[in-house]
Structure 1
Amino acid sequence: MQETASEKIETAPENRQPPEAKKFDFMVVSNRLPVDRCSSDDAENDDDGWRRSPGGLVTALAPLMMKADGAWVGWHGAPDEELEPFSHDGIDIIPVALSTNDVELYYEGFSNATLWPLYHDVVAPPEFHRAWWDSYRRVNRRFADAVIEHAAPDATIWVQDYQLQLVPNMLRQSRPDLRIGFFNHIPFPAPEIFAQLPWRRAIIEGLLGADLIGFQRPSDAANFMRSARRFVGASIKQQQIQVKGPEGEVSHVARAQAFPISIAVDQISELAHRPDIIERARQIRQDLGNPKTILLGVDRLDYTKGIGHRLKAFEELLKEGRLTVEDATLIQVASPSRERVQQYRLLREEIEGTVGHINGSYDTIQNTAVRYLHHNYPIEEMVALYLAADVMLVTALRDGMNLVAKEYVAARTNDTGALVLSEFTGAADQLKQALLINPHDIDGLKGTIMRAVHLPANESRRRMRSMRKEILEHDVDHWSAGFLAALAEGELGDDS
């Protein structure tokens, strides 16, 4: 009897071979590899010059990769450089090379100036260029070919995110023996918005190459199924999509389901209990003059995050005297993002100009209204910020999930604090005891911020306890295990 995907992941061969000579039963495919190059300062700490990336996806899947003796396919981050497969920290790595032209057209162009704004409900206008699309197809083929070369018979392949939506069907056409999963980490738009994409049919057909297509929210899965019905004439019953071959026969059944991603809760909780991080949180408050209330925003510098709306609401509260700079400080962490893309450079100028205006109007010698930090910080510093902040502000205009909201809740181990959360995030489906807001409603946002600032201690404990219970039960391991179990169930269903 054929092994299921989950059984393959439980069994690793005793003897590891060089990656270039191996065939793998389990492979993860993403735009970026799970490793970063070490800088010259810390290279001595890693024999091979690489270190594991800190992202949530890597945290979730690294243990599975090591247990399954699996391989990770992706770009290593340096254009115009080809690398041979290698192993690092128990994971086999298969690099895919990208040229400077690929980065400009496939990544900065089609992925992040066409798909990203389109999939985020056209918060910014998407651009449609045929040269970008041609590059996207070529690069997706390169990723698919890397999998085809290294996948064992009947292997399980898990493709990640919007940069690689054509890969599932490319795999199916060449290797119908593979069990293929795909997970979309960002929203999927309504058909009325998706219709704008000139290559909409090719994208839908690319995704339908997967046996299981995962989304953050049920509404995203529903949007995809509606688009599949509208643009390729797919027959859909419940969450099952009958995919037809070139002769009109049903080639396979794809399923579209929601699998909301989460965080490494244990890691955040452990850091939140560390004495040095607790002391760092106290130092942060002291450095700000020990205000009564610290409000915190943590985002990539992206137009979908609603940073401007947050600053506008905070400025108006200062202007109206409902908050004072002596009593309240906003820390805004805005990590650098896509700085070669014009829209992002303009956004940075706009946000920094707004912060300068607020501070110029309301700062005193002793107090700063907005502490703006345009940096990336290690997780230890982020947890210290979560501990220091009384109110977390998540005002995204559209977000697939927003893991920052979950990290804040995980860090509040004493059940204090308040989370102000946009209803347009995937996290709002799960963190129902957050103070939910429509970020476009500035007056409503201001009122909710004030409610958070003055939230009674017993209500804060009740809300935070409920949210912590939710994420403790549904952490990132629960997410990955749930997706792979569903993928394996489909495999069993095919055999029965």
Structure 2
Amino acid sequence: MGRLIVVSNRVATPTETKGSAGGLAVGVFGALKDAGGVWFGWSGDVVSETVANAGPQLVEEDPVTFATVGLTRKDYDQYYRGFSNATLWPVFHYRNDLARYERDEYAGYRRVNAWLAHKLKKLIEPDDNIWIHDYHLIPFAEALRSEGVKNRIGFFLHIPFPSPQVLQTIPPHEELVRSLCCYDLLGFQTRNDQQAFHDYIAREAHGKVVESGENKEHGEIEAYGRKLRTGVYRIGVFPDEIAEQAARYESRQHVLDLKQSLEGRKLIMSVDRLDYSKGLVERFHAFEQLLEQAPDWRGNVTLVQIAPPTRSDVASYKAIREELEREAGRINGRFSGLDYTPIRYLSQQYDRWKLMSLFRESQIGFVTPLHDGMNLVAKEYVAAQNPNDPGVLVLSIFAGAAAELSGALFVNPHDSAGMAEALQTALGMPLDERKARYHTNMEALRRNDLGVWRDTFLSDLASVPQPT
């Protein structure tokens, strides 16, 4: 049996894989340890052309080789900051109004994918299975095929896949879908995402789609002269590990400081990357409506929003940060007292173990993206709860996790009044109902944990006939 080659835009460091990394890093590193292999991708560094062309930097952590390359400033601007995050990210999250398309950025995106594929080819052995991750690397299999690589290649999309009408707002949409058809297996987070891809194949590419399996979550595609498979693979967490971690750290000083500062007030916790897809401004407005409509909660409930900045050199991200700071200040100005601040907005990074222990102390997890592939924060919040006194998850219907976590209170993030009502319901929910909802959600988390996601995808990839 061959090794596993994992390719992602960023490669977790060996240190990160030992406990501080998120779902993708934990999941794929576990598979790499089992099978042996290579984790290949961008180091995160912007370097000179001489350094970029010197070849991958290799770090051996037996049986895994971490292989990274730097990007030049031009490649970073065009491939990463440009087409990946100024075109694909907003369109795939149904924010066409924030997207831009530049031909030179698209050319750079394809050029970097081809360059990365060429670098990786030297590390591939004939029996290796190759697993590519996310929207940055859509053309990667096509580039490898051009290099003569015959190995099985799978692709997993961590973000939503848009409907055909939305995807068509990207001028080279057909080229992108043709590139996706160079994979042997395509994995999506939800049935809706898979269906959107199937719709494009049937309506726009005039291909053939055969759906099978439970809820038609497995498909066979014939398009652009190739046959491939698709499937729904819901990324998860290891809930019992999170529960143990949250309990272990609940007596640490940062938790004790928070509890003391709350002075008995209820706590609503929200944790997101600073991104317009997360519905952060809408969330603040919903909390404001709660304080307007239920004045008894003024002074008795606090929203802690942790939103570390990302992609700070992209204009739309600067705008969302400025708007959040402005709205937090305005709402606090309306409802603050000498000893009370309604919204604590923290634009900084926290260690994962700290977040899990903070989740455990809160009465509500407020997770309301406008559109999300899965949203592991929702799953982490549930897993971190105290089974004897669990909090309530208030969850957007547009998060992929909504299909699994039926014990949540579901909201439409475009309805501020509805979200405020859900918060009020959650704050007053009796213990028996909170426990029932918690156990329902935990059953779902254990049924489809991170290992199931990883092992099912790789098993399906290994069952694909070897390309010729």
| 1:130 and 2:103 are equivalent in the alignment | yes
2-structure distance, mates of 1:323, 1:202? 56
- Counterpart of 1:16 in structure 2 is none
Work out whether residues 154 and 177 of structure 1, in 8 Å CA contact, stay in contact via their aligned partners in 2: no
Whether 2:425 is the aligned partner of 1:451: answer yes
Aligned residue in 2 for 1:74: 41
Is 1:35–2:13 an aligned residue pair?
yes
From 368, 387, 393, the equivalent of 2:366 is: 393
Task: Give the match for residue 240 of structure 1.
Answer: 220
User: What is the match of residue 420 of structure 1?
Assistant: 394
| 8 Å Cα contact 1:399/1:426 also seen in 2 | yes
Could you tell me whether the CA contact under 8 Å between 1:301 and 1:348 is conserved in 2?
yes
Distance 1:323 1:184, change over 3 A: farther
User: If the length of structure 1 is used for normalisation, what is the TM-score?
Assistant: 0.87
Task: Please give the secondary structure, in 2, of the residue aligned with 1:110.
Answer: helix
Deviations 1:166-208 (A, max 9, x none): 0112223333521010000000000010111111111111111
Aligned to 1:97, what secondary structure does the other structure show? Answer: strand
Pick closer, same or farther for the CA change 1:230–1:53 going to 2, 3 Å.
farther
| Matching of residues 311-460 of structure 1 within 5 Å | 311-414=284-387, 416-460=390-434
| Pairing of 1:92-491 with structure 2 (within 5 A) | 92-122=65-95, 124-238=97-211, 239-245=219-225, 252-274=226-248, 277=251, 280-291=254-265, 293-414=266-387, 416-491=390-465
Structure 2: gaps of 5 or more residues: 212-218
Out of 146-155 and 102-111, give the one that drifted further.
146-155
Counterpart amino acid of 2:271? V
Deviation of 1:37 (Å) = 8.8
> In the alignment, which of 50, 56, 59 is matched to residue 87 of structure 1?
59
Amino acid at match of 1:482: T
Residues of 1 paired with 2:190 and 2:230: CA distance? 11
Q: CA distance change for structure 1 residues 465 and 124 in 2, over 3 Å: closer, same or farther? A: farther
Alignment TM-score, normalising by the size of structure 2: 0.92
Shift of 1:436: 0.5
Distance in 2, matches of 1:176 and 1:303, equals: 38
CA RMSD, aligned part only?
A: 2.1
| Partner SS state of residue 94, structure 1 | strand
- Contact persistence 1:272–1:278 (CA under 8 A): no
**Deviation by residue 1:466-491 (Cα, 9 ceiling, x = unmatched):** 10111022111111001001112223
TM-superposed CA distance for 1:362, in Å, is: 1.2
Alpha-carbon distance in 2 for matches of 1:459, 1:53: 33
**Length, aligned pairs only:** 454
**Alpha-carbon distance in 1 for matches of 2:231, 2:7:** 19
Counterparts of 2:323 and 2:391, CA distance in 1:
30
3-state SS of the aligned residue for 1:304? helix
- Cα distance between partner residues in 2 of 1:269 and 1:167: 37
Aligned partner of 1:240: which letter?
E
Output one character per residue of 1:50-81: Cα deviation in whole Å (capped at 9) or x when no partner: 98861211111112212322001101111114
Relative distance call for 1:68 and 1:188 in structure 2 (3 A) is same
- Is the 8 Å Cα contact of residues 161 and 182 (structure 1) preserved in structure 2? yes
Q: Using the alignment, how far apart are the partners of 2:155 and 2:125 within structure 1?
A: 18
For residue 56 of structure 1, what is the aligned residue in structure 2?
23
Check whether the contact 1:300–1:334 (CA below 8 A) recurs between aligned residues.
yes
- C-alpha deviation, 1:368, in angstroms: 1.1
Question: Which sits farther off after the overlay, 415-424 or 96-105?
Answer: 96-105
Secondary structure of the structure 2 residue equivalent to 1:433: coil
Quote the Cα distance in structure 2 between the aligned partners of 1:338 and 1:331: 22
- How far does the alpha carbon of each residue in 1:247-305 deviate from its partner, in whole angstroms, 9 at most, with x for none? xxxxx4211111011123233122122155466434312122221x1111111111111
SS of the counterpart of 2:71? coil
For 1:37 and 1:281, the matched residues in 2 are separated by 25
Amino acid at match of 1:32: R
CA distance in 2, matches of 1:476, 1:109: 31
- Residue in 1 that maps onto 2:215: none
1:444 is displaced (CA, Å) by 1.1
Q: 1:277 to 1:474 in 2, by over 3 A?
A: farther
Cα gap change, 1:413/1:486 in structure 2, threshold over 3 Å: closer, same or farther?
farther
Whether the 8 Å CA contact 2:56–2:119 is kept in 1: the answer is no
Q: Indicate if the aligned counterparts of 1:60 and 1:480 stay in contact, CA closer than 8 A.
A: yes
> Are 2:250 and 2:360, in contact at CA under 8 Å, matched by a contact in 1?
no
Which letter does structure 2 place at the counterpart of 1:75?
Answer: W
Q: Which amino acid aligns with 2:171?
A: P
The answer as to whether partners of 1:278 and 1:387 remain within 8 angstroms in 2 is: no
Unaligned stretches of 5+ in structure 1?
1-6, 9-24, 39-49, 246-251
